[in-house]
Amino acid sequence: MDIQNSCEACPLYHKDNLTRLGVDLENTDYVITLAGNPNTGKSTVFNNLTGLRQHTGNWPGKTVIRAEGAYSYNEKRYKVVDLPGTYSLLSTSVDEEVARDFILFGRPNVTVIVADATRLERNLNLALQILEITDRAVLCLNLMDEARRNHIEINVRALSRELGIPVIAASARSKQGMNELLVAIEEVASGKYICKPRRAKNQPANLKRAISAVTEKINGVFPDLPNLNWVALRLLEGDQSIIDAIRSGDLGSLKQDLASSVSEAENAPEKQLVSQEESKWQEGSISQEGIVLEKGQISQKEREEILSAANAERWDLGLNFHDTVIETIYSEASQVAQKTVSVSGSKPPYNLDLKIDKIVTSKWLGFPIMFLLLAGVFWITVSGANYPSGLLFSLLVDKLHPLLNEWAQAAHFPWWLSGVLIDGAYLSMAWVISVMLPPMAIFFPLFTLLEDFGYLPRVAFNMDNLFRKAGAHGKQALTMSMGFGCNAAGVVAARVIDSPRERLIAIITNNFSLCNGRWPTQILIATIFIGTAVPAAMAGIVSAAAVVGVALLGIFLSLVVSWGLSKTVLKGEASTFSLELPPYRPPRIWQTLYTSLIDRTIFVLWRAIVFALPAGVLIWLVANVTISGMSLAEYFIDWSNPFAFVFGLNGVILLAYIIAIPANEIVIPTILMLTVLMTGISGVGAGAGVMIDSTSISQTGDILHAGGWTMLTAVNLMLFSLLHNPCSTTIFTIYKETKSLKWTMVSTLLPLVLGFTICFITTHIWFLMH
């Protein structure tokens, strides 16, 4: 037999059988869902199946993000829904509720359970819970390469027999096992493979009796309902979504083989319930997950009888009922793991990881290492961005801007139209791109590489104690770090925090992280004023120390404000959370570059450009629209100067920050333009309302000194750059995430009030000392 020809004849051999469709979700034959613990490589499996392009959004009525994609295999189209990572389906966090309800009520054709082969026993807890509510599942045993490296051996066939479902050994990062996974999904979806999932065998007698009694009641009112035992168990635990579904009558619709189409349900809300009030859409009923329901004619009395029976059984079971359920599942998982997992070799698993963790999470070295790494990222970002920023500036401003003006003159544009479009809107956009794109294109990949390597969870571990004492969530350390790249991205990252109260605290305080749009202002002002106040040999170190000091002040204020909010308007205790320290892994450099550039950099840059265009128009108008021979800018600056001086600032700074609300990147060029306008310096700039190139540090210093700037002005500007209202991109993102005008206004005005307060204190201390 020709072995090569035999391999080529095997359907597993042909990668062409898989076509990654990305966001093309039309006319799918099967719905597949991916479930699993966090840090199991679920997203990698998702990307291998669907490609890097995906449709992302929130679950209806939730702030939990979801990803959808599609692929075609053997002429069948599969829609893939990536559920949020969760450790259990038995508690009530938003992530767990979304995952459970979609598997139970959405009834996907196949649920792919992605498990970490290096921590199988813990991952089996979730797998066994999923097998209680679906009989169409595949276990993807991921990270097999890491398991082998840590001397962990798993009998895959024995595991498949124990669970009653297909088990595929895989290493998704290297795409090993993905073809076998495609075949297993196809066989389960088409019915070629009939799963016989393992159910709980060791439940106490009183629990079995209670489940049986409630099941009988439910079956009498909602006949032929799938997963009766699980529904009864959740009802015994007092699950509010199940209680609401029984009271509204929605539970009866579960006997239908639903389409599980999340996107279609969102796009066609008229296909949901006839009565929105009856559907309890806003109250968290089953139809929140995008399911098409039709009510049966069931009396309210029959529904209340089910709830009464469940309450009576719950009372008889006692207070330790939940613990009993969890212990039963843990016991089952332990039994399966003991039969299928073995450890060989003399070295214990994760020996190297444990040694590294003793250093990076230690009491004395954890914080210094964390600050050094973050400082290194910032230094690489600032240093590395100088050259590409210069190239972009030369292309977009030095070369293309005069060329556009020549074209406008050749086309006989009125002076005001070319001014608004070219000197205003275009030049503002060019500044944002040249200043903002290079730092983001460096910072976000570096940040993502640290995340991919496994270090960022260690940052959260180190910072957890501080944030917990401040009444906030340990994961706020991650959102704060993301804010150093972009506050809008940091606000979105707050979705990883389950508690709505703590998520809101993280969103409100994220503006205290210096985003990349504010770093150039900090560095330039520190170099011109603080660096020149010391001997030349010390200038660089002192300037850098001043900038780092401002960044550390932002972290300190984030903790202080978090504490204040948690003790007042957002009162509450810090919630506990399970923080898994994943194994250290070699970063996927090319994929990281692609995803961080597309998902983060381009997305944030596009929003900044959209808001910067009208800002450029406004800059030009305030400098060129005159009343009685004075421009609007001059009127505002003269009017606001007395107020600004109280805070150690000036009217130029205030107007620049008002104009620069769309994008912090245009603060310095706007300040320079307004200063030239007010002082009448000749030979600088291209006219009123045209932003000035600040690439010459000495020239910038001369302009600012001519505008009356002192060391106090510089220090207060650095403080005000840290503490002022978020940019419009971030404000818009806060509103999108909170859906609340009230909290958006609090997030916008709180830093501004704090900024004026600290500048006022600094100014009066300065005057007392001098």
Helix/strand/coil (H, E, C) string of 559-617? Answer: HHHHHHHHHCCCCCCCCCCCCCCCCCCCCCHHHHHHHHHHHHHHHHHHHHHHHHHHHHH
Hey, which residues does 30 pair with through a beta bridge? 78
Report the percentage of the chain scoring pLDDT > 70: 79
In the predicted structure, residue 683 carries a pLDDT above the cut 90: no
* pLDDT band at residue 1 under the 50/70/90 scheme: very low
Q: Which residues contact 571 (CB under 8 A, 6 or more apart)?
A: none
In the predicted structure, residue 296 carries a pLDDT above the cut 50: no
Q: What three-state secondary structure class fits 154?
A: strand
Residue 333's nearest CA partner among 244, 202, 461, 185 is 202
Nearest-angstrom CA–CA distance, 738 and 265: 23
In the predicted structure, residue 287 carries a pLDDT above the cut 60: no
Q: What three-state secondary structure class fits 140?
A: strand
Alpha helix ranges (H) inside 394-426 = 400-410, 415-418
Contact 55, 23 (CB under 8 A): yes
pLDDT digits (tens, 9 = 90+) for 298-313: 677 777 888 888 888 7
* pLDDT band at residue 430 under the 50/70/90 scheme: confident
Contact 547, 523 (CB under 8 A): yes
Nearest-angstrom CA–CA distance, 263 and 106: 12
520-550 burial string, b = 16+ CB within 10 Å, else e?
A: bbbbbbbbbbbbbeeeeeebeebbbebbbeb
Phi, psi dihedral angles at 53 (to 5 degrees): -80, 135
| Ranges 64-73, 288-297, 552-561, 660-669: which has the least confidence | 288-297
In the predicted structure, residue 297 carries a pLDDT above the cut 70: no
Contact 691, 669 (CB under 8 A): yes
Residue 385's nearest CA partner among 319, 308, 443 is 443
In the predicted structure, residue 590 carries a pLDDT above the cut 90: no
In the predicted structure, residue 171 carries a pLDDT above the cut 50: yes
In the predicted structure, residue 245 carries a pLDDT above the cut 60: yes
Residue 638's nearest CA partner among 649, 626, 627, 651 is 651
Q: What pLDDT sits at residue 241?
A: 72
Q: What pLDDT sits at residue 266?
A: 40
Q: What pLDDT sits at residue 750?
A: 95
In the predicted structure, residue 258 carries a pLDDT above the cut 70: no
Count of CB atoms situated within 10 Å of the CB of 378: 23
In the predicted structure, residue 367 carries a pLDDT above the cut 50: yes
- Of 246 and 77, more confident: 77
Residue range 410-417: mean pLDDT, rounded: 87
Contact 168, 180 (CB under 8 A): yes
pLDDT digits (tens, 9 = 90+) for 547-568: 888 988 999 999 999 999 998 9
Contact 639, 654 (CB under 8 A): no
Nearest-angstrom CA–CA distance, 654 and 660: 10
Phi, psi dihedral angles at 494 (to 5 degrees): -65, -10
Count of CB atoms situated within 10 Å of the CB of 18: 19
Q: What pLDDT sits at residue 306?
A: 83
Q: What three-state secondary structure class fits 531?
A: helix
Residue range 572-586: mean pLDDT, rounded: 69
Residue range 84-95: mean pLDDT, rounded: 71
Q: What pLDDT sits at residue 260?
A: 39
Residue range 147-157: mean pLDDT, rounded: 89
Q: What pLDDT sits at residue 185?
A: 95
9-12 contacts: CB < 8 A, separation 24 or more? 11/74, 11/183, 12/179, 12/180, 12/183
Number of helices (H), then strands (E), belonging to the chain: the values are: 34, 12
Q: In the chain, what is the straight-line distance between the N-terminal and C-terminal CA atoms, in Å?
A: 95
Nearest-angstrom CA–CA distance, 480 and 464: 12
Nearest-angstrom CA–CA distance, 665 and 431: 7
pLDDT digits (tens, 9 = 90+) for 103-116: 766 778 999 999 99
* pLDDT band at residue 350 under the 50/70/90 scheme: low
In the predicted structure, residue 446 carries a pLDDT above the cut 50: yes
- Of 188 and 402, more confident: 188
Residues in the chain, total: 770
Residue 18's nearest CA partner among 67, 80, 68 is 80
Strands 55-58, 65-73: pairing kind: antiparallel
In the predicted structure, residue 696 carries a pLDDT above the cut 70: no
Q: What pLDDT sits at residue 511?
A: 93
Q: What pLDDT sits at residue 119?
A: 87
Q: What three-state secondary structure class fits 215?
A: helix
Give the Cα-Cα-Cα angle 359, 365, 367 (nearest 5 degrees): 120
Q: What pLDDT sits at residue 282?
A: 30
In the predicted structure, residue 634 carries a pLDDT above the cut 50: yes
- Alpha carbons within 13 angstroms on the beta-carbon side of residue 659 total 34
Most confident of 6-20, 403-417, 527-541: 403-417
In the predicted structure, residue 270 carries a pLDDT above the cut 50: no
Residue range 479-506: mean pLDDT, rounded: 83
Phi, psi dihedral angles at 137 (to 5 degrees): -145, 155
Nearest-angstrom CA–CA distance, 704 and 702: 6
Count of CB atoms situated within 10 Å of the CB of 67: 20
682-693 burial string, b = 16+ CB within 10 Å, else e?
A: eebbeebbbbbb
Q: What three-state secondary structure class fits 669?
A: helix
Round the average pLDDT of the chain to a whole number and report it.
78
DSSP 423-487: IIIIHHHHHHHHHHHHHHHHHHHHHHHHHHHT-HHHHHHHHHHHHHHTTS-TTHHHHHHHHTT-H
* pLDDT band at residue 21 under the 50/70/90 scheme: low
Q: What pLDDT sits at residue 253?
A: 58
| Ranges 351-360, 429-438, 572-581: which has the least confidence | 572-581
Q: What pLDDT sits at residue 281?
A: 27
| Ranges 42-56, 141-155, 363-377: which has the least confidence | 42-56
Residue 63's nearest CA partner among 38, 84, 47, 33 is 84
Amino acid letter, 610: V
In the predicted structure, residue 261 carries a pLDDT above the cut 60: no
